[in-house]
């Protein structure tokens, strides 16, 4: 069993604590927040009467002798939390994004490597069942190698609070889920990006609620992203809406339950090749799913077995680099090399 200190007891901590109490391998040994009353409130809500409560992570780690830290703080504080965790020989599972800048992301990944600790990011969309199904289907070659990937994201949430004041709000706070899913589904290595941001007249955000980006994913594959956080009507799933074109057919996913594929048949009608449906197999029993709980289970297994978790920081930094490169492109009007963001 892992003894864990969770730091950052805001609204997102509820999702973490809900997942953690479903795992028999996790014991929440402590809760840390700048507002101790908020930490106490979470302890009451989740029946954590024995958890140590405090405002200083180092103090609580000394007190609990925890095995791991769950980081749910704001991104700007993530590097400080990571340094404390590794100084106390703790493994670290962190909320996305991995960091608030390329330099801090590289510093955290390097610190985890030097400490010899497991470091992973809650990139929970990888643990969505249909994302797993699509990756397995594409790997089978049923529609040939993917050549282009297209994702639309149109949702109009009124969050209030800090998000509505953020710069690059869509790219920084949400797009990494879509970018990481694209990387995973086609096993892509991000190469470069051209991105534009704009603020529609109906927007209630400060800046960057709408964006369009085109990424190179290696091997002559392109990924296009269109997104908005102020597009009312006909909203997509929070997972987006997808079309993946292969050498011999296409797959579409509505972001909900419908995944369909068609493959080219050996006959033609006029100018157009005939196509027919091809089955996308169901979830394989070996596939990791479960959102936050799936990520936590993978993290625990990595700590116990010494294997690398799928969403390890050293891999996730590539998805984060896609975000920062898209922001740089939007700011400069240039196509940006993504490797420069990874370090």
201 pLDDT above the threshold of 90: yes
pLDDT at position 122:
94
Q: How far apart are CA 267 and CA 185, in angstroms?
A: 29
- Residue 102 belongs to what H/E stretch? helix 102-115
Give, as one character, the DSSP assignment of residue 312.
B
Handedness of CA 180, 183, 189, 194 (dihedral sign): negative
252 pLDDT above the threshold of 60: yes
**Per-position DSSP letters for 215-235, written without gaps between them:** EE-STT-EEEEEEESS--SSP
What pLDDT band is residue 182 in, cutting at 50, 70 and 90? very high
Taking only the tens place, the pLDDT of each residue in 258-292 is: 999 999 999 998 999 999 999 999 998 888 888 88
Strand order in the sheet with 68-71: 52-54, 26-32, 2-7, 68-71, 91-95, 119-122
pLDDT at position 67:
98
What pLDDT band is residue 342 in, cutting at 50, 70 and 90? low
Taking only the tens place, the pLDDT of each residue in 135-177 is: 999 999 999 999 999 999 999 999 998 889 999 999 998 999 9
Tokens of 204: 């209630």
What pLDDT band is residue 245 in, cutting at 50, 70 and 90? very high
343 pLDDT above the threshold of 60: no
* Mean per-residue pLDDT of the chain: 95
SS3 sequence, 29-82? EEEECCCHHHHHHHHHHCCCCCCEEECCHHHHHHHHCCCEEEECCCHHHHHHHH
Q: What are phi and psi of 6, to 5 degrees?
A: -100, 130
pLDDT at position 128:
94
- Residue 8 belongs to what H/E stretch? none
| Pair 281, 137: CB distance under 8 Å | yes
What pLDDT band is residue 30 in, cutting at 50, 70 and 90? very high
**More confident: 291 or 41:** 41
Taking only the tens place, the pLDDT of each residue in 66-97 is: 999 999 999 999 999 999 999 999 999 999 99
């Amino acid at each position: 069993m892992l003894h864990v200190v969770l730091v950052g007891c805001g609204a997102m901590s509820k999702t973490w604590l809900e997942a953690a109490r479903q795992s028999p391998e996790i014991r929440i040994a402590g809760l840390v927040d700048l507002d101790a009353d908020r930490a106490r409130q979470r302890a009451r809500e989740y029946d954590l009467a024995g958890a140590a409560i405090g405002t200083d992570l180092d103090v609580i780690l000394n007190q609990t002798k925890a095995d791991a830290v769950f980081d749910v703080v704001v991104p700007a504080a993530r590097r400080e939390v990571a340094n404390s965790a590794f100084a106390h020989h703790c493994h670290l599972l962190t909320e996305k994004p991995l960091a608030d800048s390329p330099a801090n992301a590289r510093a955290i990944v390097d610190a985890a490597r030097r400490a010899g600790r497991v470091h992973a990011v809650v990139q929970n969309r990888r643990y969505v069942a249909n994302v797993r199904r699509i990756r397995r289907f594409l790997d089978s070659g049923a529609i040939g190698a993917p050549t282009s990937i297209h994702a639309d994201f149109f949702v109009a949430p009124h969050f209030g609070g800090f998000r509505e004041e953020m710069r690059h709000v869509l790219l920084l706070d949400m797009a990494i889920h879509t970018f990481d899913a694209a990387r995973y589904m086609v096993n892509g290595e991000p190469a470069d990006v051209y991105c534009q941001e704009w603020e529609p007249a109906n927007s209630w955000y400060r800046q960057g609620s709408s964006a369009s980006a085109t990424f190179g994913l290696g091997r002559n594959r392109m990924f296009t992203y269109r997104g908005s956080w102020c597009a009312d009507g006909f909203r997509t799933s929070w997972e987006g809406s997808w079309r993946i074109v292969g050498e011999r057919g296409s797959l579409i996913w509505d972001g909900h339950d419908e995944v369909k594929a068609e493959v080219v048949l050996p006959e033609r009608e006029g100018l157009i090749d005939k196509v027919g449906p091809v089955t996308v197999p169901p979830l394989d029993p070996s596939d990791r799913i479960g959102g936050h709980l799936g990520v936590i289970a993978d993290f625990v297994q990595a700590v116990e077995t010494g294997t690398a978790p799928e969403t390890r920081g050293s891999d996730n930094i590539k998805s984060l680099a896609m975000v920062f490169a898209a922001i740089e492109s939007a700011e400069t009007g240039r196509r940006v090399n993504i490797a420069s963001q990874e370090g």
